Chain A
Amino acid sequence: MSGSELALEVKDLRTTLFLREGRVDVVRGVSFQLKQGETLALVGESGCGKTMTALSIMRLLPDPPARVTHGQVLLAGADVSRMPEHQMRSLRGETVSIVFQEPLTSLDPVFTIGDQIVEAITSHRKLQRGEAREMAVEILKEVQIPSPGQRLKDYPHQLSGGMRQRVMIAMALVLDPKVLIADEPTTALDVTIQAQILDLIRTEQEQRRLAVLLITHNLPVVSQVADRVAVMYAGEVVEEAPASEIFSDPRHPYTQGLLSSIPSAAGDHKHLYTIPGRVPDPRVLPPACLFAPRCPYALRRCWQEHPELEATVSAGHADTSTQPDRHLLRCWNPQPFTALQAIEPQEVDRRIATSE
């Protein structure tokens, strides 16, 4: 694959929170690549560092307390990590855009939709207000907002949740960026609206050959739209593979756990699998596999050595470690996937207690 085709590349990113109690790495050594026209889904439980990864890419971390302390982010080949702020600013909205989870609070309540889209345009392009308004109407039409001319005069609270998210997407796309980061774009919406918004993102992506980083903890969503999936756990990517493989042949016990906890995958609605235990406290991480305390297959080694993210040979494939559809895994003891049974949580807790 040629380097120029990469829209976004994250290399060994580490993001640290500087808290009163000390330093906490909430993103640890995350790397991934995103080509034009490709969708990478970043999945994982709440608090595993997905938003922090996204904000690190945009250089919009809340500082203090958060700062990128290691690694690189390349946007369309340009290293943004050490860019001066004014240059980074000119990339936001122009080259990389982000759509947040909560569309109501992401819009300024005291300005109209029109003002807010127009200002996104004019802060990058030297255009007359009228021309910018025309662009705004066009983009609203494109994201299928009815009577866009009227909507420009509305305030955010006058629109429905789904419409507001369409506005956010319109605003993100109006300058035709290369990369779109969508941080749980449908979590705050009704189920029926969720599908429409995903459709919209999918359509826009195909039309514009957008690179999409889709952050979610909703695996069914992933199966609909993603080309590749990176599974995050406690700030690390533990498995990365083409979406079809993640669903057909997940290797990491955590990924397997996530899949087993989807109702349709487990088949049995009464005994839905839940991954036992909790996410580890990121302030005191042991030099071991971070998932070991919750893992049904943990070996002695898992408690003693931290596994690296490495290419793996998946069933029915040749060694693809250098190929774009490679399967990366961070695990000492991968097991074939059989939807996990609903293990009694107490049993696992006992196992954790004895192995510690």
Chain B
Amino acid sequence: MASYLARRTGYMLLILTISSVVIFYALRTAPGGPSGGGVLNPLSSQEIRQAYDKRMGLDQPVYTQYFIYLGHIVRGDLGTSLANGTPIVELLGTHARNSLVLGLTALLISYVIAIPLGVLAAVKRNTWVDQLAMGGAILGMGIPNFWLALILVYFFSLRLGWLPSAGCCDPPQLILPALVLAAEGTAVTMRMTRSSMLEHLHDDFVRALRAKGLPEWQVILRHVLRNALIPVISLTGLRLGWLVGYALIVETIFRWPGVGYLLVDSVLRRDYPVAQVFSLLLIVFVLLANWFADIAYGLANPRIRVA
């Protein structure tokens, strides 16, 4: 176990180091820069820009900048935003919390919808219930995020006026972005629950459970579902990873001040320190999510857990 942890941690540090170099380099080779209109007034003179770059150390070669930056990071200094001088630690707190709220809500919505419907579709296989659920799933997987967002905003905000179209952080403002973020995951989870249920509905042990005189609901909901959820649970880890990608889009569309929103904003403004920290944060999150997927699979499946 200890060696497993050490290996995992080493692997993560390696990935982080490589990605930090790539991100650092990519940001700095992108046209413009903090002084080129991102942070400074785009109309400021050449002298002002040069002075700014010199003050910020942006006139140094990229590798020198990288090692200076690394020195700060190692000492635990994440820096401040170039745009408004806010310490990045502070930004991390609020934005990470907002993203977590949004992400967890989306995850919850998708499981609450997907698992019961997946079970129902499997049990009522080839009936209209099944076809409706699966039709919905295909729609949910096929429709692009931003398009769904536009449709929902059009109906629920503009037409019906029931929900705000953007903003943070009241429950009504959470609903639309969470729904959009949940859509694809719901569809994928529902299909997976259904097919996994169908696979286990014909297992030998199901007949043996019925032979013990168990009520049918107990056979389905306690036993078949529990077996069918193993792949669904391990999919959660991967889904957390996907959510990161979608969060960039959804948070930007709904102006939800989460990690994704801030990352997109900081990249556009060439706010280097913020962009660096937040992109690395997302990478750490994806790595942890994949790790979690492994662990969850083991927890859900006693055959792996004990072995």
From known contacts A102-B204, A123-B218, infer whether A111 and B223 are also in contact, taking CB-CB under 8 Å: yes
Interface check B214, CB cutoff 8 A: yes
Within 8 A of A (CB), among B212-226: 212-215, 218, 222-223, 226
Q: In the complex, which residue of chain B has the Cβ closest to the Cβ of A175?
A: B213
Which of B204, B214, B230 makes the CB contact (< 8 A) with A100?
B204
Interface set of A (CB-CB < 8 Å, partner B)? 58, 60, 89-94, 97-98, 100, 102, 105-111, 119-120, 123-124, 155, 157-158, 168, 171
Residues of B close to A108: CB separation below 8 A = 205, 209, 223, 226-227
Which of A106, A123, A124 makes the CB contact (< 8 A) with B204?
A106
Q: Which of B208, B223, B302 has the most CB of A within 10 A?
A: B208
Which of B208, B215, B222, B301 makes the CB contact (< 8 A) with A107?
B208
Residues of A close to B214: CB separation below 8 A = 89, 119-120, 123
28 residue pairs from A and B, CB less than 8 Å apart: A89-B214, A91-B213, A94-B213, A98-B211, A100-B207, A100-B208, A100-B211, A102-B204, A105-B204, A106-B208, A107-B205, A108-B205, A108-B223, A110-B226, A110-B227, A110-B300, A110-B302, A111-B223, A111-B226, A119-B222, A120-B213, A123-B214, A123-B215, A123-B218, A157-B302, A157-B303, A158-B306, A168-B208
Interface check B203, CB cutoff 8 A: yes
Q: Which of B207, B223, B300 has the most CB of A within 10 A?
A: B207
Question: Whole-angstrom distance from the CB of A184 to the nearest CB of chain B?
Answer: 13
Which of A90, A93, A119 makes the CB contact (< 8 A) with B211?
A93
Residues of A close to B207: CB separation below 8 A = 60, 100, 106
Interface check B72, CB cutoff 8 A: no
Q: In the complex, which residue of chain A has the Cβ closest to the Cβ of B207?
A: A60
Question: Whole-angstrom distance from the CB of A188 to the nearest CB of chain B?
Answer: 11
Residues of B close to A93: CB separation below 8 A = 211-213
B205 touches A109 (CB 8 A): yes
Question: Whole-angstrom distance from the CB of A66 to the nearest CB of chain B?
Answer: 12
Contacts A100-B207, A120-B212 known; list 9 others, CB within 8 Å.
A60-B207, A60-B211, A92-B212, A93-B211, A105-B205, A106-B207, A110-B301, A123-B215, A155-B306
Q: In the complex, which residue of chain B has the Cβ closest to the Cβ of A98?
A: B211
Interface check B28, CB cutoff 8 A: no
- Cα separation A168 to B212 with both chains bound (whole Å): 10
- Cα separation A58 to B222 with both chains bound (whole Å): 22
Interface check B210, CB cutoff 8 A: yes
Residues of B close to A109: CB separation below 8 A = 205, 227, 302-303
Within 8 A of A (CB), among B226-273: 226-227, 230
Residues of B close to A94: CB separation below 8 A = 213
B218 touches A60 (CB 8 A): no
Q: In the complex, which residue of chain B has the Cβ closest to the Cβ of A115?
A: B222
**What's the tally of chain B residues with a CB closer than 8 Å to chain A?**
23
Residues of A close to B205: CB separation below 8 A = 105-109
Which of A90, A100, A106 makes the CB contact (< 8 A) with B213?
A90
- Which 9 pairs, one residue from A and one from B, show the smallest C-beta to C-beta distance? A92-B213, A93-B213, A105-B204, A106-B208, A120-B212, A93-B212, A155-B302, A108-B205, A98-B211
B212 touches A123 (CB 8 A): yes
From known contacts A60-B207, A105-B203, infer whether A124 and B213 are also in contact, taking CB-CB under 8 Å: yes
Question: Whole-angstrom distance from the CB of B264 to the nearest CB of chain A?
Answer: 42
Main SS of the interface on chain B?
helix
B211 touches A97 (CB 8 A): yes
Binary interface encoding of chain B residues 169-212 relative to chain A, with 1 for a CB under 8 A from any of its CBs, else 0: 00000000000000000000000000000000001110111111
- Cα separation A168 to B303 with both chains bound (whole Å): 19
Residues of B close to A124: CB separation below 8 A = 213
- Cα separation A90 to B210 with both chains bound (whole Å): 11
- Cα separation A168 to B83 with both chains bound (whole Å): 70
- Cα separation A111 to B226 with both chains bound (whole Å): 9
Question: Whole-angstrom distance from the CB of B7 to the nearest CB of chain A?
Answer: 27
A171 touches B302 (CB 8 A): no
Q: In the complex, which residue of chain A has the Cβ closest to the Cβ of B209?
A: A108
Q: In the complex, which residue of chain A has the Cβ closest to the Cβ of B200?
A: A108
Residues of B close to A107: CB separation below 8 A = 205, 208
Question: Whole-angstrom distance from the CB of B156 to the nearest CB of chain A?
Answer: 41
Q: In the complex, which residue of chain A has the Cβ closest to the Cβ of B303?
A: A157
- Cα separation A297 to B9 with both chains bound (whole Å): 78
- Cα separation A255 to B222 with both chains bound (whole Å): 45
Question: Whole-angstrom distance from the CB of B298 to the nearest CB of chain A?
Answer: 12
Residues of A close to B226: CB separation below 8 A = 108, 110-111
Binary interface encoding of chain B residues 110-132 relative to chain A, with 1 for a CB under 8 A from any of its CBs, else 0: 00000000000000000000000
- Cα separation A123 to B217 with both chains bound (whole Å): 12
Question: Whole-angstrom distance from the CB of A292 to the nearest CB of chain B?
Answer: 35
Residues of B close to A110: CB separation below 8 A = 226-227, 230, 300-302
Residues of A close to B215: CB separation below 8 A = 89, 123
- Cα separation A171 to B230 with both chains bound (whole Å): 26
A171 touches B213 (CB 8 A): no
Residues of A close to B208: CB separation below 8 A = 100, 106-107, 168
Q: In the complex, which residue of chain B has the Cβ closest to the Cβ of A93?
A: B213
Q: In the complex, which residue of chain A has the Cβ closest to the Cβ of B224?
A: A108
- Cα separation A91 to B303 with both chains bound (whole Å): 32
Residues of A close to B223: CB separation below 8 A = 108, 111
A60 touches B213 (CB 8 A): no
- Cα separation A94 to B301 with both chains bound (whole Å): 31
From known contacts A100-B204, A106-B205, infer whether A155 and B212 are also in contact, taking CB-CB under 8 Å: no
- Cα separation A28 to B304 with both chains bound (whole Å): 45
Question: Whole-angstrom distance from the CB of A125 to the nearest CB of chain B?
Answer: 11
Residues of B close to A91: CB separation below 8 A = 213
A89 touches B302 (CB 8 A): no
Q: In the complex, which residue of chain B has the Cβ closest to the Cβ of A112?
A: B302
